[in-house]
Structure 1
Amino acid sequence: MKVLFSLFTLALLAACANTAEDYAKAGDWEAVGYSDGVRGKSHRNAGDFKDYSNVNINDYAQGYLKGVEEYCNPNHAYQIGLSGNYYEGVCEGTPDAQKFRMEWQRGWNDSKLGASQ
């Protein structure tokens, strides 16, 4: 379990090493989507990238799905909530959506308890 958590943490750090804007400037739209998805951010549309040329929304969507698949692992949801990261509902419709949401909520509640003490 600790190994899985460490791998998840490393994946999140790697995703954050370059920002989505860095990937967009480089034209790597799959990486932009993955970066958004693995951080649990809502799916963007082509209009959200009006400042960039040559937007490939299909590559973005493909990367986003890969990122969301990693993010929506219910085994990591508690830690996401505990870290104070808001859940934007990106896991709805996935097989483990309810379990993810419950674990995230438990972590979120615990993070607020610790902050108020």
Structure 2
Amino acid sequence: MKAIITVLAGLLLFGCANGIEELAKQGSWNKIGYQDGVRGQLPRTYSALQELGPANHAEYERGYQIGVIEFCDADFAYQIGLSGQYYTGACEGLPDAQRFRMEWQRGWSEYSN
């Protein structure tokens, strides 16, 4: 069963990588930004975006802001930590950042034990 889960997780990650490249070819920078934000990743640098193609940084940033606000819901931070997802600091500077970090830490502590 673990082997099946591992294979499916690998395929999902591979699919996401291919999805980003396909979105870049389509010029869907807003969607790329949204996906990065909603996953709690830090925003890609300008040069990282340019590696994907002729990037529209403003569209990427708009999508990222929408996604990161969804991710940074402090009411779900405990579950994010409990699931073992590492927090990158993507919520810093947002109004509920401290509460998010504290709830995530509480979940992460239980996950780690």
TM-score bracket relative to the smaller structure: 0.7 to 0.9
Describe how 1:60-79 pairs up with structure 2 within 5 A.
60-79=60-79
What's the CA shift string for 1:48-96, capped at 9, x where partnerless? 0233332100000000000010000001101110111100001111110
- Normalization by structure 2: what TM-score? 0.79
How far apart, CA to CA, are the structure 1 residues paired with 2:20 and 2:107?
26
The aligned amino acid for 2:43 is H
Q: Secondary structure at the match of 1:81?
A: helix
Q: Which moved more, 1:24-33 or 1:99-108?
A: 24-33
Q: 2:38–2:70: 8 Å Cα contact kept in structure 1?
A: yes
The aligned amino acid for 2:79 is Q
- Note closer, same or farther for the CA distance 1:96–1:29 as it changes in structure 2 (3 Å cut): same
Q: CA deviation at 1:23?
A: 1.8
- Normalization by structure 1: what TM-score? 0.77
Structure 2 alignment gaps of length 5 or more: 1-15
Q: Which residue of 1 aligns with 2:3?
A: none
How far apart, CA to CA, are the structure 2 residues paired with 1:19 and 1:105?
31
How far apart, CA to CA, are the structure 2 residues paired with 1:74 and 1:35?
19
Q: Secondary structure at the match of 2:89?
A: coil
How far apart, CA to CA, are the structure 1 residues paired with 2:109 and 2:22?
34
Q: Which residue of 1 aligns with 2:81?
A: 81
Q: CA deviation at 1:19?
A: 3.7
Identical counterparts, % of pairs: 52
How far apart, CA to CA, are the structure 2 residues paired with 1:88 and 1:19?
22
Describe how 1:1-117 pairs up with structure 2 within 5 A.
19-113=19-113
Query: Runs of 4+ in structure 1 displaced over 6 angstroms?
Result: none
Q: 1:77–1:104: 8 Å Cα contact kept in structure 2?
A: yes
Q: Which moved more, 1:67-76 or 1:42-51?
A: 42-51
